[in-house]
Amino acid sequence: MSTETLGEKLRQIREQNELPLRKVAALLDIDVAILSKMERGERKLSKEVVLKLADIYKCNPEELLVLFLSEKIMYEIQDEDLGEKALKVAEKKVKYLKANKTK
């Protein structure tokens, strides 16, 4: 399984597109320093930035968004013995909510 972080993946995609941080940061309208830190996991990525990057790199936003969300989840349960149980409970809740969405 892929153990790559979202930041690492984004950097990889950027390099494949041969775009310098400078240009991408300009498109995102953020400072180069921040984007550099985001790619290296020193600053948090926002959903907004992830979606803009998917647009800039013309890649599937879903994959990136799932990775983004799963990292946020992992952050909450890191080092917790009960993490797996909590995930299962959360899954049940999501399914429950989905089933009762329109009610």
Partner DNA sequence: CTAATTTTGACACTTATTGTCAATAGAATA
Partner DNA sequence: TATTCTATTGACAATAAGTGTCAAAATTAG
- Residues near DNA (CB under 7 A) are 20-22, 30-34, 36-37, 39-40, 42-44, 46
Nearer to a copy of itself, 33 or 94 (CB): 94
Nearer to DNA, 55 or 91 (CB): 55
* The two three-digit tokens of residue 10, written as one number: 């984004």
Which of the 8 DSSP states describes residue 30?
A: S
Of these partners, a copy of itself, DNA, none, which one is at the site of residue 55 (CB under 5 to 8 Å by kind)?
A: none
Q: Is 93 in the site for a copy of itself (CB under 8 A)?
A: yes
Residue 50 near residue 68 (C-beta atoms within 8 A): yes
* The two three-digit tokens of residue 8, written as one number: 């690492």
In degrees and rounded to multiples of 5, residue 42 shows phi and psi of: -90, -20
